[in-house]
Amino acid sequence: MAQTLSRSGRGPQPLRPRKKQLPFPLNIYQTAIGRKWVMALTGIGLLGFVVAHMIGNLHVYEGPARMAEYAETLRTLGGGLVPRGTILWILRLGLIAMFGLHIHSAYSLKEISRKASPKAGFVGGAKQYSGGQDFIAANFASRTMRWTGPIILLYLLYHIADLTWGWWLGDDFVHGDPYHNLSESLSSLPVAIIYIVANVALAVHIFHGAWSMFQSLGINNPKYNKARVAIAAGLAGLILVGNLSFPILTQAGLIDEDNRECAVEDFDDEHDILICLEEQLEEEG
Amino acid sequence: MDQVISLTLKVWRQNGPDDAGAFQTYQAEGISQDASFLEMLDIVNERLIEEGTEPITFESDCREGICGTCGLMINGKAHGPELGTATCQLHMRKFNDGDHITIEPWRAVSFPVIKDLAVERTPLDLIIEAGGYISVPTGSAPDANLTPVPKEAADMAFDAAACIGCGACVAACPNSAAQLFTSAKLNHLNLLPQGQAERWQRAENMVETMEMYFGTCTNHGECHEACPKEISLDFIAFMNRDYVKAKIKNRKLAGQR
Ligand code: SF4
């Protein structure tokens, strides 16, 4: 194979000429492998968020009062040391930054691969062989990362508009009463379907991502390599089951407000609902 | 087994790098199942020459799976349907009478077609030139076992060194990434004591040369399936680790960079 002769200017033109290096550590992000590291590290952060978000939301099964209490806990993180909402906003900014980096690195890497492959289409950036490209090792999850990613992003925006800003619920939206908002929103069948589809995409994305990040970060030890796939499958399964339980059980009528104390209709002022919920908690002790 | 089969070949013909290229169909009658895939092409070519047409250009050299020269995309699979073999080690007994076989060159923007099925793989050489060597003063041969090498490291380095540089990994990769080749060549030296002096420079230079020409790895694992030497994906992980470490170490070594 390689004959190590030095002839200059031979071979095809580089697709990406070497650029001047930025100061450390920015130069790591200039390279594709560095970007894979950033994608993996932000992926770990985002995965942590998804898991925490899912587990936190399980409070919904304890009823409206506990759910409202949990929401309030998030806003008052850090106790009285910092103004209300500060820590939550710091976390949110961190998340936004991680999303930004995750998406930018994914998009820019996809572009590099697209330029390196002839007749590359958008899906999987795969080049076409007329003999039919048989994927042998690549699985559904790894080939659809570039579809599940954008689906999750769109869903994320929808989800925030739905349950944080209350765009679609309008007057039905009660600030600080997530149980009510959730059951109002998810009791509509089309909405529940959006949530189900998006969360399946999320689980598929996580399945490849969680395995892939070990590889990108170079965490590889023949002893534990089998465990990497198990961890990925376990995480994806956990998130799938947890997150799908909300729309499905709402549709099944398990999450509803039929016997709710402090029923939303009985109050004119949002604030009074929250006070009623707090009183309910105190009574329960 | 001296069965004779007849095949329909759909072969990529392209007159030069700038030609558009197209598929041509050929009938390959009476091919012995003992023939290797390349011998089958030889027979077809002889007939083409007798007919007075231009034979199909393809590359081959050792024909025993160690030189890395041959490489064809056979029915969309690099080096054909068998795992762990190069095209020259594929035999016609793996095919049946009447089969249709599509034969294409490796496809990647950095592997331009020279003619028909032969592609230029210079960028792989450039990656080797960037660091796939060790610098030692030559002279009389050193004493045997002068440098102790742990058995595990020797085994692993040997597995990596098995890479024949055929480029099937790039061809099979949906992203046209050369990660498997580069990581094999990099680790084969980085795992050994002899490779330590230049380890971090090597990691940086080889990876950065690779990135000039090829796509980026998304951990599909197609390369490993296509590889005639079954190079492990583990080497890619080792390379990713060494590369980022090198970025940190080289900066310290060089004072500031
Ligand atoms: S890693 Fe395998 S497929 Fe890639 S060049 Fe080396 S031998 Fe060929």
| CB of B171 shorter than 6 A to ligand 1 | no
Asked whether this chain's domains B4-115 and B122-256 adopt the same fold, the reply is no
pTM summary value: 0.89
Query: Residue A15: which pLDDT band, with cuts at 50, 70 and 90?
Result: confident
State phi, psi for B207 to the nearest 5 degrees: -65, -40
End-to-end Cα distance, chain A: 77
User: pLDDT tens, A201-210?
Assistant: 999 999 999 9
B160 alpha carbon to ligand 1 midpoint, in Å? 10
What is residue A176's predicted lDDT score, i.e. its pLDDT? 85
* Opening angle at CA A227, ends A224 and A231, nearest 5: 140
Fold of A32-107+135-284: 3 helical TM bundles of succinate and fumarate reductases (1.20.1300)
User: What is the reported pLDDT for A125?
Assistant: 41
Q: How confident is the model over B85-91, as a mean pLDDT? A: 95
**Superfamily of domain B122-256 in the CATH hierarchy:** Alpha-helical ferredoxin (1.10.1060.10)
| End-to-end CA gap in chain B | 64
Please provide the CATH number assigned to the domain covering B4-115.
3.10.20.30
Q: Are B168 and B226 in contact (CB under 8 A)?
A: yes
**DSSP annotation of B1:** -
* CB interface of B with A, residues 200-219, below 8 Å: 207-208, 211-219
- A212 → closest Cβ in B107, B211, B219: B219
Q: For residue A16, what is the nearest residue in chain B, using CA coordinates?
A: B212
Task: Lowest mean pLDDT of A50-64, A164-178, A197-211, B202-216, name the range.
Answer: A164-178
Q: Which residue has the higher pLDDT, A116 or B86?
A: B86
Q: Is B165 or A115 the better-scoring residue by pLDDT?
A: B165
Q: Work out the angle at residue A123's Cα, subtended by the Cα atoms of residues A120 and A129, and round it to the nearest 5 degrees.
A: 45
In this structure, are residues A178 and A60 in contact, taking their beta carbons and an 8 Å threshold?
Answer: yes
Euclidean distance between CA atoms B180 and A2, whole angstroms = 16
Between residues 218 and 257 of chain B, which touch chain A (CB distance below 8 Å)? 218-222, 224-226, 233-234, 236-244, 247-248, 251, 256-257
Q: Read off the pLDDT of each residue in A237-246 and give the average, rounded to a whole number.
A: 96
Query: Distance, in angstroms, between B136 CA and closest chain A CA?
Result: 16
Where is average pLDDT lowest: A264-268, B101-105, B152-156?
A264-268
Best CA proximity match to A251, nearest among A163, A177, A185: A185
pLDDT tens for A136-171 read 666 788 888 888 999 999 999 999 999 989 888 888
Task: Give me the residue spans of the domains in chain B.
Answer: 4-115, 122-256
Question: Which band of pLDDT confidence, cut at 50, 70 and 90, is reported for residue B162?
Answer: very high
β-sheet bridge partners, residue B120: none
Q: Encode pLDDT of B97-140 as tens digits.
A: 999 999 999 988 889 899 999 999 999 999 999 999 998 878 88
The whole-angstrom separation of Cα B46 and Cα B32 is 15
Average of per-residue pLDDT values in chain A: 86
